[in-house]
Amino acid sequence: MTIFQAIILGIVQGLGEFLPISSSAHLIIVPWMFGFPDPGLAFDVALHAGTLIAVIIFFAKDWISIIASAFGMKVSQGTAYSKNILWLLVAATIPGAIFGALLESKAETVFRSPLLIAATLAIMGSILYALDIKGGKHKAIKEASLKDALLIGLAQAFAIIPGVSRSGSTISAGLALGFDRKSAARFSFLLSAPIIFGATILKAKYFFSPEFGSIEVAGIIAAAISGFIAISWLLKFLEKASYKAFFWYRLALAAAIVIVFFLK
């Protein structure tokens, strides 16, 4: 793999992790369409590390407030989070961690079919759009309950299937539970940190493997920068727009995958 290809895949990972378009689907489809070589496990870990850096840096002040309030420390007035938000994020991570451990082997084999990815892209895009246009979503992230966290966490578990999208499934669940667009997205972004951190730690040994080098460093940097931009852009985008654009993008990509599949 070249540095250029590593940067492309890093950008794909960073954008796909936080925009509701499925990073795992894109990391399968882009190499499949353009003939990129298999980057290996070290590169996969590097990309996850890049997106972890993005979400930690972007929400640095938020994380300080969240952790401080969880342990009874004084935080600034007017915080957007309840004192229990850290524990809600921990609870929401559990379903995804369990499903990930049970289905990891299938995620690397059975779930990589281009036609399955096309189907999940279209179906989940339709669900996201349908929930988005439904009215009555006024709940703020500060009002999240344990039930909300567990249901959003359960939705995150289905993201083990490429095309579902971790952010897409959690945002959809948030919308279904009555959260406004920005709160659903913000909870999804915060929830990404523990699950990505766990996945990175479990495979941290690959950071010290002989194959780890400039390709992986390029991937980390590209994923971190593009991930940071994706978070910032989406939160601002949702102040004036809906998730409609992502619905059409997912449908268009699903159609392109089907066409390429039958032409190959």
pLDDT in tens, 235-257: 999 988 899 999 999 999 999 99
Cα–Cα distance between 148 and 185 in angstroms, integer?
Answer: 14
Q: Give residue limits of the domains in the chain.
A: 3-263
The model's confidence at residue 105, banded by pLDDT at 50, 70 and 90, is low
Average pLDDT over residues 41-56: 91
Q: What confidence score (pLDDT) does residue 201 get?
A: 85
pLDDT for 104 beyond 90? no
The model's confidence at residue 92, banded by pLDDT at 50, 70 and 90, is very high
Average pLDDT over residues 122-126: 96
Q: What confidence score (pLDDT) does residue 108 get?
A: 63
Average pLDDT over residues 7-35: 94
Please state whether 35 falls in left (phi above 0), alpha (psi between -120 and 50) or beta: left
Q: What confidence score (pLDDT) does residue 83 get?
A: 85
Average pLDDT over residues 40-54: 89
Q: Which residue has the higher pLDDT, 208 or 64?
A: 64
Q: What confidence score (pLDDT) does residue 75 get?
A: 67
Q: What confidence score (pLDDT) does residue 44 get?
A: 86
High-pLDDT (> 90) share of the chain, %: 65
Of 109-123, 170-184, 212-226, which range is least confident? 109-123
Q: What confidence score (pLDDT) does residue 106 get?
A: 65
Q: What confidence score (pLDDT) does residue 134 get?
A: 85
- Residues contacting residue 156 through CB under 8 Å, at least 6 positions apart: 92, 93, 95, 96, 166, 169, 170, 173, 191, 195
* C-beta of residue 166 within 8 angstroms of C-beta of residue 55: no
* C-beta of residue 21 within 8 angstroms of C-beta of residue 169: no
Cβ neighbours, 10 Å, residue 168: 28
pLDDT for 77 beyond 60? no
